[in-house]
């Protein structure tokens, strides 16, 4: 396994600390007036989803994590288990509801997702940044209510609820940002 020196530190780097994989979510280079420079890092444990703050001196190194990122197609949900399949090898991966987190709200059958494997076992998944989903239910917009930024809750085909502009009706297809859960735009079908 390789190592990363402090000069290689950057956001998104996957490293291994005490045998567990971490993702670097924040990295700040600090050069005080006196003394040596140091690196303040915030790391997220990819297995337990906890965060860790660490400070490293220049010249320190961290072991690279044995993680692999693959693209897999979402197949179906069975109770609290989500099943994905890698299209090239037809290998299936099962992730628990805890591993999927709130991303389940935006999963549609056949959707390509990114899955992170640690020692050949799936640990997390990420849906595409934007998804297009059909509006299943919403209250009708009030006539003449055309003031700017008027929103209402809408229920999507996957069960997710997001805030959308008042002009959105049942049956419309809207684009949603999966990272924030925000409405992006109405999609013409």
- Indicate the DSSP class of residue 179: T
Distance, in Å, from the CA atom of 165 to the CA atom of 146, rounded to the nearest integer, reads 10
Pair 50, 84 in one domain: no
Residue 160 has pLDDT above 80, yes or no: yes
Confidence of residue 120 (pLDDT cuts 50, 70, 90): confident
Listed residues 110, 126, 142: the one ending a domain: 126
Listed residues 64, 79, 111: the one ending a domain: 64
Residue 25 has pLDDT above 80, yes or no: yes
Domain assignment of residue 108, given as a range: 67-126
Calculate mean pLDDT across residues 64-92. 91
Residue 2 has pLDDT above 70, yes or no: yes
Number of folded domains that form the chain: 3
- Residue 170, helix vs strand vs coil: coil
CATH of the domain at 162: 2.40.50.140
pLDDT tens for each residue of 172-186: 999 999 888 899 998
């Amino acid at each position: 396994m390789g190592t990363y020196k402090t000069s290689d530190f950057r956001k998104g780097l996957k490293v291994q600390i005490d045998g567990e994989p971490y993702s670097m979510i924040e990295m700040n280079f600090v050069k005080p007036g006196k003394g040596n420079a140091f690196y303040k890092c915030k790391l997220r444990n990819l297995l337990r989803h906890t965060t860790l703050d660490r400070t490293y001196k220049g010249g320190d190194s961290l072991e690279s994590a044995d993680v692999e990122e693959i693209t897999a197609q979402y197949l179906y949900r069975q109770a609290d288990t989500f099943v994905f399949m890698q299209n090239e090898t037809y290998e299936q991966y099962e992730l628990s509801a805890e591993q999927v987190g709130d991303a389940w709200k935006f999963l549609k059958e056949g959707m390509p997702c990114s899955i992170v494997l640690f020692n050949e076992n799936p640990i997390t998944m990420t849906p595409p940044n934007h998804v297009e989903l059909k509006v299943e239910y919403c209250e009708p917009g009030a006539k003449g209510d055309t003031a700017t930024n008027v929103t209402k809750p809408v229920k999507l085909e996957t069960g997710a609820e997001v805030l959308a502009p008042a002009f959105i009706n049942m049956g419309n297809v809207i684009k949603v940002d999966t990272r924030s859960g925000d409405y992006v735009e109405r999609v013409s079908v």
